[in-house]
A and B are shown apart, each in its own frame.
Chain A
Amino acid sequence: MMTGAQILMNILKDENVDTIFGFPGGAVIDIYDELARTGIRHILVRHEQGAVHAADGYARASGKVGVCLVTSGPGATNTVTGIASAFADSIPIVVLTGQVPTHLIGNDAFQEVDIVGITRSCTKHNYLVESITDLARILKEAFYLARSGRPGPVLVDIPKNIASAKTDFTPPGDVRLRSYNPTYRPNQKQMREVVRLLQAAERPLIFAGGGVILSKGAAELTHLAQTARIPVTTSLMGLGAFPGSDPLFLGMIGMHGTYAANMSASTCDLMLAVGVRFDDRVTGKTDAFARQAAIVHIDIDPTSIRKNIPVSVPLVGDCRISLQMLNEMTGTAAGDAPSPARVEWLGRIAEWKRTQPLSYHQGESIKPQHVVEKVCELTRGEAIITTEVGQNQMWAAQFYRFDHPNRFITSGGLGCMGFGLPAAIGAQIACPDQVVVDIAGDGSIQMNIQEMATAVQYNLPIKIVILNNGYLGMVRQWQELFYGRRYSSTRMNHAPDFVKLAEAYGAVGLRATRPEEMEPVLKQGLAERKPVIMDIVVEAEEGVYPMVPSGAPITEMLLV
């Protein structure tokens, strides 16, 4: 006979879970009691939202399923933002919530909420365990659903009496769901059409997204682009899917995309879109997006295809498998000298890159873009970068060079402030030997600052670089450009002293206010073997450029 809590531990071990992020409470006390007797490492966060973001960061850095454990009621509701962020970015996590005992469900019991109802629209799937005999099967299904197909968060709500009930445990077999069978191998006939289009195209462009990274297809994508000499742009989530230092790389596309990427998208005659979902921040005005192009869209989720943009060739399948097949099918053409049309196309792109590179003006004060460039230089482009949300996130995306997948960890779809610090914690636990840097803003960092205590407790040497401009900068920038400079509630003039704050938590705090102080502070901070906050006071009203006004075609860019 085994208790529900023991069954849970059994399944976690079976799923090779070595770390979970969580916060205890009454409804999960039996589970925590059992957890302490296993070898599974528990990271005690300071707020449940932090647990989910940390599990998210862990999943992205490691490629494994992230797991978190919280109690019922407020513990469960505090996970919602984290779950919604993981859902928007298709990150595989399993969220275990405690629930009041089954006989109290529906009675407005202490710390009772209908978390399955609340998270129905922001999970890939969720479960309320109603009988201990279902527990093992549900947990196996949860892990399977989280990582298979288009990954995503799965929540399992476990009532307290189920965790303590006993039953005979027989390990469940392989998961089989008759209603859920993702298509991994794309349709052959459609693939041949893609090959034909690729070979006929004069001005092809690859647009890669997070799906390439999630499917571990970056090597296949890179091979295809380099062999066939096709330029590559990525979405925010796709950064690292193709080496940032390769001359074929155009930078990110969209609202804060590069001039070359946005112009290429509007001029190409074939767009090979892989693992993307054509978010509005990418397309701008959809009617004007890639007007000259036949669009091939590869994605494992059929609902992503033709949701926002009409496409010429839809291809439902796993990105890595599809790219592998494309490489095999186009193999014969490799090594051929590029056609004159292709040479001209690459020349046009080189010209766009040369005349309108990402840039900024140096000045009297520290420029945030310069800070990110310096961080990139000092970490040789090899760090794992997490971000908060807003200007800091866009500068990190623009000015850090990502040569590898799983190194850029950001809340892309949901745009969730307070993400970067807990995500850095998760990434550092997944990759203890890597440098992990959270590029933060003075606004965002305060949203989950309590996780500094977690970083210090577990001696995680994460590096937080606050680009401190004293504003909620991205909203301020919109107010500057589109709302007559009326800075309504975006001035953050009562921030704490971040150096003292770091010290109060037992971390290292450093500050740079003058341009000449910036590099020494970064060097010193990056060399520390402890958590560090580097408070870099930057130009207050610096903007993120290029910028495409919301709803405009992406060729209408405001430049530096």
Chain B
Amino acid sequence: MAEDKHVMTMLVDNQPGVTSRVTGLFSSKGFNIESICGSPTNDPNVSRITIVTAANPPVIEQIEKQLRKLVNVIKLRSLNGPKSVRRELALICVHAKAEQRAEVLRIVDIFRGKIVDAGLEHFIIEVTGEEAKIQAVLNLLKPIGIKKLARTGMIGLIREPK
């Protein structure tokens, strides 16, 4: 069965060790985590963890059930398709000598990125978007030379009813 990327977001008790319970579940059951992102919500007792995983549908079903079984997981939703918004932020440090600077700036402009740090031989670029957009920026910057890369992993929210 085909393995598809799957984004899930969950509200969890904001207590020590909860992230470890979630990630421990993935490692002990042999599931994989592509990215994980967690932080407190507007309720300080509750955190939101968003995980991207790749698995076939029966395994996804099992992952979701296992996560819901954790006593500290309050609520879990899938974040796939048009009913949700998903974003990731990437900081990309690229080589940028004189002859490349214009090209880099053009790419940043096309993707509505920002230069957040600049030196004689580098830029640090900030880009936000869905995974496809981040991937597209990286594809264009790769030939110029990516020195360092940091990505937050996916976050997202379900859209409210219109």
Interface residues of A (CB under 8 A from B): 116-117, 120-121, 124-125, 128, 145, 177-180, 301-303, 306-307
Contact = CB atoms under 8 A, between A and B. Distances in A.
Given A116-B17, A303-B62, A307-B62, A180 B24 contact: no
B34 to A, nearest CB: 22
A302 B24 contact: no
A306 B58 contact: yes
Interface stretch (B70-78, B82-90, B112-120, B140-148): B70-78
- Secondary structure at chain B's binding surface: helix, strand, loop or mixed? helix
B24 A179 contact: no
B69 A303 contact: yes
Given A120-B20, A120-B21, A302 B69 contact: yes
B14 to A, nearest CB: 12
Contact of A178 (B20, B58, B74): B74
B61 interface: yes
Contacts of A117: 17, 20
Contact of B72 (A179, A306, A307): A179
B65 interface: yes
Contacts of A145: 71
Contact of B24 (A121, A128, A177, A178): A121
B68 interface: yes
16 contacts: A121-B24, A121-B28, A124-B71, A145-B71, A179-B70, A179-B71, A179-B74, A179-B75, A301-B69, A302-B68, A302-B69, A303-B62, A303-B65, A303-B66, A306-B58, A306-B61
Interface in B28-67: 28, 58, 61-62, 65-66
B95 to A, nearest CB: 42
Which of A145, A178, A179 has the largest number of chain B CB atoms within 10 A? A179
A179 B70 CA distance: 8
A197 B156 CA distance: 42
Given A117-B20, A120-B24, A121-B24, A302 B74 contact: no
B20 A179 contact: no
A299 B47 CA distance: 30
Nearest to A303: B65
Contacts of A302: 65, 68-69
B13 interface: yes
Interface string B81-125: 000000000000000000000000000000000000000000000
Contact of A180 (B25, B28, B58, B71): B71
Interface of B: 13, 17, 20-21, 24-25, 28, 58, 61-62, 65-66, 68-75
A124 B71 CA distance: 8
A120 B62 CA distance: 19
Contacts of A120: 17, 20-21, 24
Contact of B71 (A121, A177, A301, A303): A177
A302 B68 CA distance: 9
Contacts of A179: 13, 70-75
B46 to A, nearest CB: 10
Contacts of B17: 116-117, 120, 128
A179 B61 CA distance: 19
A95 to B, nearest CB: 16
A63 to B, nearest CB: 23
B105 to A, nearest CB: 48
Contacts of B24: 120-121
A532 to B, nearest CB: 42
Contacts of B75: 179
Nearest to B13: A179
A314 to B, nearest CB: 11
Given A121-B28, A179-B75, A302-B65, 8 more contacts: A120-B24, A121-B25, A177-B71, A178-B74, A180-B71, A306-B58, A306-B61, A306-B62
A4 to B, nearest CB: 20
Contacts of A307: 62
A156 to B, nearest CB: 13
A395 B28 CA distance: 33
Contacts of B73: 179
A306 to B, nearest CB: 6
Nearest to B71: A125
A113 to B, nearest CB: 15
A214 to B, nearest CB: 16
A233 to B, nearest CB: 26
Contacts of B13: 179
Contacts of B20: 117, 120
A306 B65 CA distance: 10
Contacts of B70: 179
Contacts of B74: 178-179
B70 to A, nearest CB: 8
Nearest to A150: B69
